[in-house]
Structure 1
Amino acid sequence: MKNSFLIVLLGLVIISCKEDASHRGDGDTQQKEAVEIKDTINDISIGAKESYPTLENMADSTFIRLADYSGDFAYDMRYATENNFLKAQVYDCAECYTRVKTAKALIAANDDFKKAGVRIRFFDCYRPNSVQYKMWKIVPNPQYVANPVKGSIHNKGGAVDITLETLDGEVLDMGTDFDFFGKRAYHDMTDLPQNILDNRKLLKETMEKHGFWSIRTEWWHYNLSSASKDPIADFKWECEH
């Protein structure tokens, strides 16, 4: 909605300036108006940015859409498709929401990753508890899906499933695909090519530096340490169709 508003408003400004220029036909006037258009764009952009409160001004427990606060991430939200181990779409649409404190940690970690020429690519973020029930109905096995009665840290807005890609969009080789359930996906699996071990090490060490911890059997899964005692949530985002 914000982007649509900017486009419409910018179009009106340009049309207005062009109409004035057509009456005057003065080159200096047109140049001046070009500067005015640029200044107007900047003013609009500043106003749009201010329409969102900063992360620092929100409670850590607040849910936010990560893309509204950083354009530096990539997304491959598998559970909004059938390309996952469930072979079913369980989200109505693809979005990555987290609590504010998780977002802060992710943005800080991504800043470090970018220094190494890579960035975070998301497979899953906050997961409403009702979606957890959908997953449990399909695969009622705690080895693969957390029991929705107890919930998972995904349901608390403090867990993410991620990999790394280059800044040009090339996904790094982690040895298996997301949601591969086998020993090759374990963190303690060392019988792998060195480049894969290096990629996993970069992912793990950087995430741990920013307050996340991993689980032994899934190289892609990271929990924010301070989120374990947060309440289970069933906040649902609206889909724009």
Structure 2
Amino acid sequence: MKKLVLFVFLGINFVSFSQKIPKGFVYLENIAPTIKIELRYLSDTNFIGKPINGYKSNCIIVTTETGELLEKIQQELLKKGMSLKIFDAYRPQQAVDHFVKWAKVLEDTLMKNQYYPNVAKSQLFKQGYIASKSGHSRGSTVDLTIINTATEKELDMGSSYDFFGVQSHYSYKKISQKQQENRMLLRKIMRAHNFKPYENEWWHFTLRNEPFRNTYFNFLVN
């Protein structure tokens, strides 16, 4: 399915049709329109501090199986006055390449204080924060949190999204009881719907038995 996008620039409307995504993928808004989206890599609100290659519009693309399960999770949360909020899902290989290229430029530490204050940039590869391949590029991995639908505020998880440090590990104990409960809430509902958590990032989950286990895609998020 092609997605119609309307742009407004200097009072002029532009209509653009995104590329046809591969078979087996969906635009999440087409099957789960109530899930909130904040695609961090489309903006400069990320650990690099600038938009990332391959992200062209604020939309979430996932495998069909992933999207259908996310919608089921969303319906459960809505009954409790909560909602999913997704920061990243399918990630083009060119975006991963952008991360790798950035990581090699050691003097570029624009966002260090916010995202990796206690980790030397030279250690980002060794400690597993940056890699040349990402499960996101297979289309069944999502980075997400939970928000309160009344306030639209994110639940306090004890560290921010994409924070490189032990504070983001699920098992980190130097956070409040409420923060631990919020992490557990997200983890429990994701695991109940066949998603596998990543222990070092409370926000990161991958669909078990993902359909493209050995394929890394490079089409645009558009």
TM-score band by shorter chain is 0.7 to 0.9
**How many aligned positions are there?**
180
Q: Which has the higher contact order (CA 8 A, sep 6+)?
A: 2
Is the contact made by 1:160 and 1:223 (CA closer than 8 Å) also made in structure 2? Answer: yes
The one of 42, 45, 69 equivalent to 1:80 is 42
- The reply to whether residue 216 of structure 1 matches residue 178 of structure 2 is no
**How far 1:87 sits from its partner (Å)?**
1.3
* Structure 1 position 76, deviation (Å): 1.1
2:81 maps to 117
1:201 equivalent in structure 2: 184
Structure 1: runs of 5+ lacking an equivalent: 5-59
Is the helix fraction higher in 1 or 2? 1
Equivalent in the alignment of 2:72:
108
Is 1:185 paired with 2:168?
yes
Q: 1:197 to 1:64 in 2, by over 3 A?
A: same
8 Å Cα contact 1:109/1:210 also seen in 2: yes
Moved more, 226-235 or 164-173: 226-235
Question: What is the rounded CA distance, in whole Å, between the counterparts of 1:108 and 1:80 in structure 2?
Answer: 26
Does residue 65 in structure 1 map to residue 27 in structure 2?
yes
Q: What secondary structure sits across from 1:226 in the alignment?
A: coil
For the residues of structure 2 that align with 1:93 and 1:80, how far apart are their CA atoms?
7
User: Would you say 1:233 and 2:213 are equivalent positions?
Assistant: no
Stretches of 4+ aligned residues off by more than 6 angstroms = 1-4
- Mapped to 1, the partners of 2:41 and 2:173 lie a distance apart of 29
The answer (yes or no) to whether the contact 2:56–2:220 under 8 Å persists in 1 is no
Give secondary structure in 1 for the equivalent of 2:99: helix
TM-score of the two chains, using structure 2 as the length reference = 0.75
Conserved? CA contact 2:169–2:199, under 8 Å: yes
Aligned to 1:164: 146
SS in 2 for 1:231: coil
1:230 Cα deviation after fit: 4.2
Query: In terms of Rg, which structure is larger?
Result: 1
Residue 131 of structure 1 aligns with an amino acid whose one-letter code is A
Distance in 2 between the 1:88 and 1:145 partners?
A: 17
Q: Quick one: distance in 1 between partners of 2:102 and 2:5?
A: 38
Structure 2 stretches of 5 or more lacking a match? 7-21, 105-123
User: Are the counterparts in 1 of residues 168 and 200 from structure 2 also a CA contact under 8 Å?
Assistant: yes
Contact 1:86/1:139 (8 A) holds in 2: no
1:84: how far off?
Answer: 0.7
User: Which one-letter code corresponds to 1:123 in the other structure?
Assistant: F
Matched, 1:176 2:159: yes
- Identify the residue that residue 145 of structure 1 maps to in structure 2: 130
Shift of 1:171: 1.2
